Structure 1
Amino acid sequence: MNEHTKIPMQQAPLADPGTVDYVRTGPGTLAGTYMRRFWHPIYCSRDLEPGRSKPLTIMSQKLALYRSQEGAVHCVDNRCAHRGAMLSTGWVEGDVIRCPYHGWAYGPNGQCVDQPMEIAGFKKNIRIGGYPTQEYLGFIWVYLGEGDPPEFVRYPEWEKASFVSPQIDTRACNWFQNIENYQDEAHVWFTHKRSALEGLDLNALPKLSCEKTPWGLRMVAKKQDGNERIVQFGMPNVCMFMVHPDNIKRQGEESTREETMWQMFLDYRVPVDDETHLQVHTIATFMNGPPSEEYKKRWKDFANAEAEAHDVAQRVLRGELHYDQIAEMCHHVPLAQDEVVQVGQGVIADRRRGIENLGATDVGIVAIRRLYTEELTALAEGRPLRKFERPEGLLPKGGADH
């Protein structure tokens, strides 16, 4: 879609009149059209074996993701153009995926390439959506927009890391609630008081500020000792921040040599639909020498603790556990803590004035809503959009010596 093509302005749900809708991202929506202008990580590469396919929903769009026997990854709409069966339930034959209902087959670009029992020439008129893919940093990325995709963004710091752990989990609330959580530095000093972030000296409240960057926004929490915790947000849905090395420890475990190095997170938040989203984490550790097998095992245990964190968070939300018990009950403590405060707002949070009351500490919340309003308004009016790029050296800071 040409950026000068006008799209009707849409009102956000559960918001004051005139609020631009950055909540809903399905096909044809304003925010969905904007989000489809970017590449998004949607699946862990290690979880898609050669010759297999998986059903996915991204921004309310049903997709079939499959890997050829030779290893190439492809993505097409998950609906056969014949009778609507799910292609992900069919067979992968080289770079082609075949429907299990009547055998129609489609290539990576969505073109129908075979129709057993049909008249010759019919297949050339049949095509479904086919989408470009990339594999990078342990993830499969997809571009769901129209026309040629933009240049693929790379992160050289993660390519040079001693150890990288790619992880994806799902959170049952609207994606923008998590996007706003990135900009909410005040929550760190309360939500994560008992977690790996306690090394920030969470009893001393910081001074908060937020400013625009060529990439998006820069949130700064300046502590009383002069140290700054800096979080970098990149449009439309990526964040960089640093976490204390004890992040992957269980309660009572001793630190190891490798855990003296701070970890740098590259996080994406990708809508599944308007009520669910993916949390995509790429965690990089920088150290002298290769990581030990013990360190790798701890990371594997940490990555596998997502279900445990979700269960603990749900028990807190149901009143079966107290919030202070999270640190004792699960391995992935910040994950459970954030789920409690985000999902507890409702599947789609009510942002109407008087129900939500923003204060001076919400500078980041105001900034991200304003930034999205500017971009979506420009898109709706057919005006040129900003080109967001991360300058070399634009990185987060942990807020303590690291």
Structure 2
Amino acid sequence: MLSAQENERLTRVGPGTPMGELMRRYWHPVAAAAELDAHPVKAVKLLGESLVLYRDLQGRLGLIGDTCPHRRISLEYGITEAEGLRCPYHGWMFDPTGQCIEMPAEPADSTFPCRVKIAGYPVEELGGLIFAYLGPEPVPLVPRWDLFVMDGIWRDIGVTEIPCNWLQCMENSLDPVHTEWLHGHYYNFIMGHRNQRDARGQRFVDRLTPHHVKIGFDVFDYGIIKRRVREGGSEQEAAWRVGHPILFPNILRVNWTFQIRVPMDDTHTWHVMYQAYPPPPGEEGTPQKTVPVYDIPIQDERGKFVTDFVLGQDMMAWVTQGPIAHRDLEKLGESDAGLILYRRLLRDHMAIAEQGGDPMNVFRDPDTHKIVHIPVEHSLIDTAKAGALSTGQAPYSALLDDVEAAWAKVSAAAD
């Protein structure tokens, strides 16, 4: 159990808060690059700040404050031009740093534009995602985690805006025993009552949910490795021997997927499901032109949580704890050792950030930061052959043909 004050320190992410200052030491994804192909301007909320992301006609990315300082209208409706983003109201132009560079109604020799600047932050594109950095200089390198930069794979990106604090999403990843109940017994309960078929039209079959007989957690170079042994298993299996990595501070690695929990503000999280696959047959060696992006549903048309797939079950559990979980009321047991370790790691690195140091996974040396390989339990090919994705979607080949259509079919089948 945490005190209410400790809970505040771990959950509040706005400017000047201890956790907010730690999180500002990291690059965070704020959009899929494909989103700006559809429309070059996107409203972004990150670490309590309201911003606008845009791509100008030169192809440059900018991330600036979302309000024009002239008459205070939203720049979400701005006009992209070669030199930046122009306010649609009176034409003030802002470059990618937030500097005003043109005021059409002011005299040509006016120095007023150079005296007007709004917030502007560094942005970089990597692996089909656009990352932003809101922290102090010098700016670190964007982490080159293996799935972002590996050759010879294709990718897609599923996103959800979740109405709860980011820490609830992450703590779930340090809680291995929930899988046998939430993703096993509960799944069997709801699907058995509905006599459902899966995405391939096959009749529902009970999930095997062996009981955990042993769990363990180790801090490693990039975060925490969680380990498990289930009934009938042993420590020689990959689930214990290799384990399951959590990348500090806010990424879960599941086989060939990253789940990235981006703190939008204190009570909203942008959840990114970043998945990698071998290319479809006949496309080996062909670069993927665009990394597709799609929405993962959280609620149905009745406002009920969609809980017939793994991530949907997790999202229900996260959100129903409330906008910010009351950790001062919780009662933890021995099986919660992973949560306790993770909270300790957060506190330790909050202190490092407060003292001006670099916390875990802040990278600065480009010569040693080409690709960061992460240990995983299964191989890429084995995961692909398994067929169904961890999100409950259709096999990856269908997604590569048409992500939206594949997800629509799965959603329809679940009704």
Q: Please tell me the TM-score bracket, short chain as reference.
A: 0.7 to 0.9
Deviation of the 1:338 alpha carbon: 0.8
Question: Residue 215 of structure 1: which of 215, 222, 239 is its match?
Answer: 222
**C-alpha RMSD of the superposition:** 3.1
For the structure 1 residues 141 and 313, does the alpha-carbon distance in structure 2 shift closer, same or farther, using more than 3 Å as the test?
Answer: farther
Whether 1:269 aligns to 2:269 is no
Summarize the alignment of residues 32-47 of structure 1 with structure 2, pairs less than 5 Å apart: 32-47=20-35
1:15-58 per-residue CA deviation (whole Å, 9 max, x = no partner) reads: 34455612011122111111111111111111113873121111
Deviation of the 1:65 alpha carbon: 0.8
Whether 1:69 aligns to 2:57 is yes
What is the identity, as a one-letter code, of the residue corresponding to 2:304? Answer: R
What is the identity, as a one-letter code, of the residue corresponding to 1:179? Answer: M
Inter-partner Cα distance in structure 2 for 1:81 and 1:228: 56
Whether 1:204 aligns to 2:211 is yes
1:160-184 per-residue CA deviation (whole Å, 9 max, x = no partner) reads: 3532112221111110000101111
What is the identity, as a one-letter code, of the residue corresponding to 2:253? Answer: M
Would the aligned equivalents of 2:66 and 2:75 in 1 still touch at CA under 8 Å? Answer: yes
Query: What's the counterpart of residue 364 of structure 1?
Result: 338
Question: Residue 240 of structure 1: which of 223, 235, 253 is its match?
Answer: 253
For the structure 1 residues 161 and 268, does the alpha-carbon distance in structure 2 shift closer, same or farther, using more than 3 Å as the test?
Answer: farther
TM-score, normalised with respect to structure 2 = 0.74
Between 95-104 and 53-62, the greater mean CA deviation after superposition: 95-104
Query: What's the counterpart of residue 121 of structure 1?
Result: 111
Query: What's the counterpart of residue 353 of structure 2?
Result: 379
Deviation of the 1:398 alpha carbon: 4.8
Deviation of the 1:392 alpha carbon: 5.2
Between 220-229 and 275-284, the greater mean CA deviation after superposition: 220-229
Would the aligned equivalents of 1:137 and 1:282 in 2 still touch at CA under 8 Å? Answer: no
For the structure 1 residues 135 and 199, does the alpha-carbon distance in structure 2 shift closer, same or farther, using more than 3 Å as the test?
Answer: farther
Secondary structure at the residue paired with 2:158?
strand
Would the aligned equivalents of 1:174 and 1:348 in 2 still touch at CA under 8 Å? Answer: yes
Inter-partner Cα distance in structure 1 for 2:133 and 2:14: 14
Question: Residue 304 of structure 2: which of 307, 315, 329 is its match?
Answer: 315
Inter-partner Cα distance in structure 1 for 2:6 and 2:16: 19
Query: What's the counterpart of residue 53 of structure 1?
Result: 41
Would the aligned equivalents of 2:146 and 2:372 in 1 still touch at CA under 8 Å? Answer: no
Between 156-165 and 34-43, the greater mean CA deviation after superposition: 156-165
Deviation of the 1:95 alpha carbon: 3.3
Secondary structure at the residue paired with 2:177?
helix
For the structure 1 residues 268 and 160, does the alpha-carbon distance in structure 2 shift closer, same or farther, using more than 3 Å as the test?
Answer: same
Would the aligned equivalents of 2:67 and 2:75 in 1 still touch at CA under 8 Å? Answer: yes
Query: What's the counterpart of residue 316 of structure 2?
Result: 340
Deviation of the 1:289 alpha carbon: 4.5
Secondary structure at the residue paired with 1:310?
coil
For the structure 1 residues 18 and 52, does the alpha-carbon distance in structure 2 shift closer, same or farther, using more than 3 Å as the test?
Answer: closer
Summarize the alignment of residues 272-311 of structure 1 with structure 2, pairs less than 5 Å apart: 272-286=264-278, 289-290=281-282, 304=294, 306-307=296-297, 309-311=298-300
What is the identity, as a one-letter code, of the residue corresponding to 2:161? Answer: T
Question: Residue 165 of structure 1: which of 156, 161, 164 is its match?
Answer: 156
Query: What's the counterpart of residue 375 of structure 2?
Result: 395
Inter-partner Cα distance in structure 2 for 1:398 and 1:201: 18
Inter-partner Cα distance in structure 2 for 1:312 and 1:240: 31
Would the aligned equivalents of 1:98 and 1:105 in 2 still touch at CA under 8 Å? Answer: yes
Would the aligned equivalents of 1:105 and 1:112 in 2 still touch at CA under 8 Å? Answer: yes
Would the aligned equivalents of 1:50 and 1:69 in 2 still touch at CA under 8 Å? Answer: no
Inter-partner Cα distance in structure 1 for 2:258 and 2:347: 24
What is the identity, as a one-letter code, of the residue corresponding to 1:337? Answer: Q
Inter-partner Cα distance in structure 1 for 2:58 and 2:207: 47
Inter-partner Cα distance in structure 1 for 2:259 and 2:254: 8
Secondary structure at the residue paired with 1:185?
coil
Whether 1:350 aligns to 2:341 is no
Would the aligned equivalents of 2:307 and 2:316 in 1 still touch at CA under 8 Å? Answer: no
Would the aligned equivalents of 1:180 and 1:365 in 2 still touch at CA under 8 Å? Answer: yes
What is the identity, as a one-letter code, of the residue corresponding to 2:323? Answer: V
Query: What's the counterpart of residue 173 of structure 2?
Result: 182
Inter-partner Cα distance in structure 1 for 2:331 and 2:376: 29
Secondary structure at the residue paired with 2:20?
helix
Would the aligned equivalents of 2:51 and 2:66 in 1 still touch at CA under 8 Å? Answer: yes
Q: How many residues align?
A: 343
What is the identity, as a one-letter code, of the residue corresponding to 2:260? Answer: Y
What is the identity, as a one-letter code, of the residue corresponding to 2:128? Answer: G
What is the identity, as a one-letter code, of the residue corresponding to 1:207? Answer: K
Whether 1:139 aligns to 2:132 is no
Would the aligned equivalents of 1:179 and 1:269 in 2 still touch at CA under 8 Å? Answer: yes
Secondary structure at the residue paired with 2:273?
strand
Would the aligned equivalents of 1:161 and 1:284 in 2 still touch at CA under 8 Å? Answer: no
For the structure 1 residues 125 and 188, does the alpha-carbon distance in structure 2 shift closer, same or farther, using more than 3 Å as the test?
Answer: same
Would the aligned equivalents of 1:162 and 1:289 in 2 still touch at CA under 8 Å? Answer: no
- Identity fraction in percent: 27
Deviation of the 1:87 alpha carbon: 1.4
For the structure 1 residues 304 and 88, does the alpha-carbon distance in structure 2 shift closer, same or farther, using more than 3 Å as the test?
Answer: closer
For the structure 1 residues 161 and 340, does the alpha-carbon distance in structure 2 shift closer, same or farther, using more than 3 Å as the test?
Answer: farther
Question: Residue 233 of structure 2: which of 225, 233, 239 is its match?
Answer: 225
